[in-house]
A and B are shown apart, each in its own frame.
Chain A
Amino acid sequence: MQYRITHTTKYTYSEPVPVFENKLHLAPRTTACQHCSSYRLMVMPDPLRIDSHADYFGNRVEYFSILNALRTLSVTSTSTVEVFEPSAPVDVDDSPPWEELRQGLLKPPNDAWRDACMFSFASDFVPISTSLAEFAKPSFTPGRPILAAAADLTRRINEQFHYNSRATDISTPVDVVLSQKAGVCQDFAHLQIACLRSLGLAARYVSGYLRTIPPPGKEKLVGADASHAWLSVFAGNAVWVDFDPTNNVLPTQDHVTVAYGRDYGDVCPIQGVFVGGGSHTMSVSVDVSTL
């Protein structure tokens, strides 16, 4: 499946902003499941210079500064990504028992395991606690294959939690999400990652896009799509399998990966620092269209 993705973020400030510094994770990475054939970043006003490099996980990070006082800023990324058709659906029962992974992560036998190790500890947005482990426990019965257990946890989160964009903000901690049983995709991804890590397993945060399919008989609205977040679970020997608790699916061709990291903090799509500027308003529009 071939996609053209356009992601625009616009800021309007009540007073001129003399200095902006920005850091972006907007370029879709090429993985075993997808290939990004083109990517273009447009910033208005023109920052003259955009620096970029690969971060610790191989995601592309871009930086730009804008110096002159301004009241509006728009950042648009356009990319073309091909998402490959999976050769066969994932068989969640064909995976090692989850306890085996926990054991292996304590003493990683090779590089793949050691790399996964990094995703098994608490991080800024992902705490580890016994209550999270308790919540996960019903899915992780003894000897159950890791992917089957993770899929079950995904289903339970999807069933028990309400999607509510007003329930949380960027700083809402996972345990609040757990207790109020509501949040957005980012919260659900963090929650499931936290559950898995609390059991000693490795899971990473995936930031990306989701193609939306309009209700039957309606036109798809341009710009109505959005950035999305889900997670990826380590199943041993460099095998990572994605789960989307918000939609209770194993992502295949509707999900486009941009970047992955330990949590949102590692792959925040667009973040910045500014001085002054008064109050600001922001609008985001994302369009994922098939080619």
Chain B
Amino acid sequence: MQDQQQTSQQSSAGSAPLPVGPSPGFLSGYQSVRTGFNELLTPDGRVRPLWDRFIPMIERLQKGEFERRWRHSQRLIRENGITYSPYGDPDANARPWELDALPLLIHETEWREVSAAIVQRAELLQLVLSDLYGPQRLLKEAVIPPAVLYAHPGFQLAYHGLKPDSALPLHYYAADLARAPDGKWWVLADRSEAPSGIGFALENRIVISRMLPEIYRKCNVRRLAPFFIAFEETLQELAGLHSGVTRAVILSRGPQQECYFEDAYLARYLGHTLVEGADLAFRDGRVYLKTLDGLLPIDVILRRPNSEDCDPLEFSADSSAGVAGLLQAVRSGSVALTNPLGSGLVESPIFMAFMPRLCRFFLQQDLAMPGIATWWCGEPNSLEYVVSRLDRLTITEAYRHRGQKMQPEQDIAQVPPHKLEALIRSDPNRFVAQERLASSVAPLWKGNQLVSARLEVRAFSVAHRSSFKVMEGGLTRTTTTDSAVKSDSCAPFGRGCKDTWIVGDQPVEYVSLLTQSESAIELRRVGSDLPSRVADNIFWLGRQIERADAAARLLRTFILQATSETPESRQARLAPLLRALASQGQIDPGYALENMKGGLPDIESAMPQLIFDEHQPSSLRSVLEELSRVASVVRDRLSVDSWRTLVRIDQRFRSMQVASNSLDMTDVLNFVNGLIIDLAAMEGFVMESMTRSHVFRFLDFGRRLERAHQMTALLRSCFVGKHAVTGYLLEAVLEIADSVMTYRSRYLLNLQLAAVLDLLITDETNPRSIAFQLVTLRQHAESLPRHHKEVTLAKHEKLILSMVHSVRMLEIQHFCEPHGSDDQHQLESLLAGLERKLPALSHELANRYLVHTSSTRTWAPKPVLP
């Protein structure tokens, strides 16, 4: 009953072995593998006409210039932090995006044909989805066997009949393509759930066009921007179906997922709010965004998680990627999703086996581009055919869908051939067999030489004005091992990619990406809403910046003191600083206790290692890792410069960590000096580049709160207790507090406790003083949203005011005398009060403005019988 499958081998007669020899210049030494279509060279070893312009221009670059530019670009990639590994996991191999220096060139005439085939396929899949979630003519008229749908774990009954008739079931579709040895393109897989890759494609383009600007211009490369404009228009149109004022959000799976970079990137590029499930609320039939200003209705959700992860009430209870009630909102038509729920059904390999037939049924046409030959073992004839050719076919799960681990496939790959037949026969419905395709090859730039790699191209399309628009470009993925490129729904794990240039003979109308996207400016009304979760992270980012700064400054002063040649007893000088380090959590508290020191190694020899101590809650390593983590989850809210600074801090620390065995105090000192400057740069970007929005307020709130806290702890460690207050100590504290210059300009070299305390506690003009922090906190608190009905001060405001009051009431003059016990007591109680109230303030703020995302739970009683 199944169709005769057209295979790529049937038409592969034209692939003669390549007599590839050394050719002069750039290509010299390039050895292409001998099977498969060669993108660059003709069978007799000459450069294809398509590359006629490109290769000579590369060759005209001065010797070493190409390599130099490439290194520069790679730095750009690193600094932009393009990765597809989980964020915030310091142990994971942070894999930067492996972009190749050489793009893949495809002629626009050829791409036009490819595009037409993609449009046909997208429209066909749309019809298939509409039918399966609607009248199911395909089953009634026996076009496909019932098992294709009913045995499909991805066929959720809740999606059936979900769509109003006018709405399309598929807006955004991608196909993975490869070229057979005869040069014809084949579809390897359909991606209809939530295809990823357009953000990577765009970033690839930006990097390569900057690396080869003159070549890029002269090659008449088609632009990507029109695709994004169409994408945005489609989102707006969907929103328009629902209400006048539109708000679109990008629903991400969160920073733990591989594609978070792309989610954040798209959010920034398209100007929409990046949200996670916890940011959404379902109220009275609508979906809302939880923000500091309250709930704001959402019209369109650009969906990145799988459909089944979007509503824990309807599907998997342990899914928090969406919000309970989402399906009801969709049902009532108050929100549109793109892609709509359930769109992923048709991307399972089983549909590949039926595509020719589906195409004839719906469109009365043949497929414009064949899909790779696929046999579903649920059909008896196919089963026998497959079993007889197991050595030449790849067996995969018929119903596999996106995000499903590759586990089953790996299992299948590991099944020894003689057991494979039994496995398939035990449940034939579960398996499909696919032809193996030797995809085309192209050169890859690998450290001064060219190696050949196999290619697969992901082509993207978006529903636009009653048809589909195909991106003039794509994501070309490469593998240098000779096995077939395995594609997964997300980024190519551990594999490289290339920019994809669709080149024409005519110059392309000059439109820079920037102006193109600016022209869609009226589409960007949203994007300023601050979800409470983001505010929470921003607040913690502020705290972490300040925590890192405090740690670095204290560490610097400690090292300087520990290595100085002054005659005074080292012990006495270092003791208060050790107490401060211990109270910050940088070192084991034992170092600060006289009677415990014996059991610990000498601090001086231990120090370079201590900063890498992951068990200390605030070792430099812990603080910087937490800083990276918090920053990465709010990446879309940070400027590119701020982000680069953060990446630089991270990289410098990691490279020092690599050499940690041979470090001495001077190395640490150098690092810490650099860190302080980088953090100051961060703060500068914040102060000078951030608009005074809630984002700024929460960031600064975090910073100020942390700074007050750090200063309190420092003063307590150094001046509370029966320790002698020496000039060295006063100077050290001033140095840590970055207030030496101010002090000298006022008092010259006359170091006195009262004057130091005045400068660091009560002086409201000193940006390092506790009073300054408290006054700033008070200003921020006044600007935060509040309930209209509230007439009295909120708890957090009262806390701030009581702290301001206690600081202002401090009788600093008493400290002019050699400090008596009363004054000690006054200082001690002030600092103790602050140490109690500052965390309380943080807690109050969180209670009032920031979400506590406790996990959702489900319940369902089981029926019991009398």
A 87-113 binary contact with B (CB < 8 Å = 1; else 0):
000000000000000000001100100
A 262-291 binary contact with B (CB < 8 Å = 1; else 0):
001010111111111100101010000000
| Cβ-defined partner of A121 (8 Å) among B150, B325, B858 | B150
Whole-angstrom CA separation of A272 from B325 in the bound complex: 10
* Interface residues in B830-866 (C-beta closer than 8 Å to A): 854-866
A271 touching B857 in the complex, CB below 8 Å, given contacts A117-B150, A226-B865: no
| Cβ-defined partner of A275 (8 Å) among B157, B426, B854 | B854
A9–B861 CB distance below 8 A: yes
A169–B862 CB distance below 8 A: yes
| Cβ-defined partner of B140 (8 Å) among A114, A118, A130, A275 | A114
Across the interface, name the chain A residue whose C-beta is closest to B312.
Answer: A273
B139–A21 CB distance below 8 A: no
A 201-228 binary contact with B (CB < 8 Å = 1; else 0):
0000001001010000000000011111
Taking the closest CB of chain B, its distance from the CB of A42, in whole angstroms, is: 18
B328 at the interface (CB under 8 A from A): yes
| Cβ-defined partner of A163 (8 Å) among B160, B284, B865 | B865
B 319-333 binary contact with A (CB < 8 Å = 1; else 0):
000001100100110
Across the interface, name the chain B residue whose C-beta is closest to A106.
Answer: B145
Taking the closest CB of chain B, its distance from the CB of A273, in whole angstroms, is: 4
- Grouping DSSP codes into helix (H, G, I), strand (E, B) and loop, the A interface class, with mixed when no group exceeds half, is mixed
Residues of B within 8 A of A163 (CB): 865
A207 touching B865 in the complex, CB below 8 Å, given contacts A51-B328, A271-B858: no
B285 at the interface (CB under 8 A from A): yes
Across the interface, name the chain B residue whose C-beta is closest to A188.
Answer: B865
A34 at the interface (CB under 8 A from B): no
B282–A56 CB distance below 8 A: no
A70 at the interface (CB under 8 A from B): no
B858–A228 CB distance below 8 A: no
Residues of A within 8 A of B284 (CB): 48-49, 65
Residues of B within 8 A of A114 (CB): 139-140, 146
B864–A184 CB distance below 8 A: yes
Residues of A within 8 A of B332 (CB): 51
A170 at the interface (CB under 8 A from B): yes
A273 touching B861 in the complex, CB below 8 Å, given contacts A108-B146, A114-B140, A266-B157: no
B860–A268 CB distance below 8 A: yes
- Grouping DSSP codes into helix (H, G, I), strand (E, B) and loop, the B interface class, with mixed when no group exceeds half, is loop
A185 at the interface (CB under 8 A from B): yes
A273–B313 CB distance below 8 A: yes
Residues of A within 8 A of B281 (CB): 19
Taking the closest CB of chain A, its distance from the CB of B376, in whole angstroms, is: 14
A228–B865 CB distance below 8 A: yes
B313–A246 CB distance below 8 A: no
| Cβ-defined partner of B863 (8 Å) among A21, A122, A229 | A229
| Cβ-defined partner of B150 (8 Å) among A107, A118, A277 | A118
A3 at the interface (CB under 8 A from B): no
Taking the closest CB of chain A, its distance from the CB of B828, in whole angstroms, is: 38
A 225-259 binary contact with B (CB < 8 Å = 1; else 0):
11111000000000000000010000000000000
Whole-angstrom CA separation of A217 from B200 in the bound complex: 77
Taking the closest CB of chain A, its distance from the CB of B137, in whole angstroms, is: 12
Whole-angstrom CA separation of A280 from B426 in the bound complex: 44
Across the interface, name the chain A residue whose C-beta is closest to B149.
Answer: A118
A55 at the interface (CB under 8 A from B): yes
B 571-602 binary contact with A (CB < 8 Å = 1; else 0):
00000000000000000000000000000000
Whole-angstrom CA separation of A169 from B157 in the bound complex: 25
A6 at the interface (CB under 8 A from B): no
Of B139, B145, B859, B863, chain A has the most CB atoms within 10 Å of the CB of: B863
Residues of B within 8 A of A246 (CB): 865
Whole-angstrom CA separation of A264 from B863 in the bound complex: 10
B282–A282 CB distance below 8 A: no
6 residue pairs of the A-B complex, CB under 8 angstroms, read: A107-B142, A121-B147, A210-B865, A224-B866, A227-B863, A272-B860
B contact residues vs A (CB 8 Å cutoff)? 139-140, 142, 145-147, 150-151, 157-158, 160-161, 281-285, 312-314, 317, 324-325, 328, 331-332, 426-427, 854-866
A contact residues vs B (CB 8 Å cutoff)? 9, 11, 19, 21-23, 48-49, 51, 53, 55-57, 63, 65, 67, 107-108, 111, 114, 117-118, 120-122, 128, 130, 163, 165, 169-170, 184-186, 207, 210, 212, 224-229, 246, 264, 266, 268-277, 280, 282, 284
If A21-B282, A49-B285 are given as contacts, then 19 extra A-B residue pairs at C-beta distance below 8 Å, sorted by A number, are A19-B324, A23-B314, A48-B284, A63-B328, A65-B282, A114-B139, A117-B150, A118-B150, A121-B151, A185-B863, A226-B866, A270-B860, A270-B861, A272-B313, A273-B857, A273-B858, A275-B857, A276-B854, A280-B859
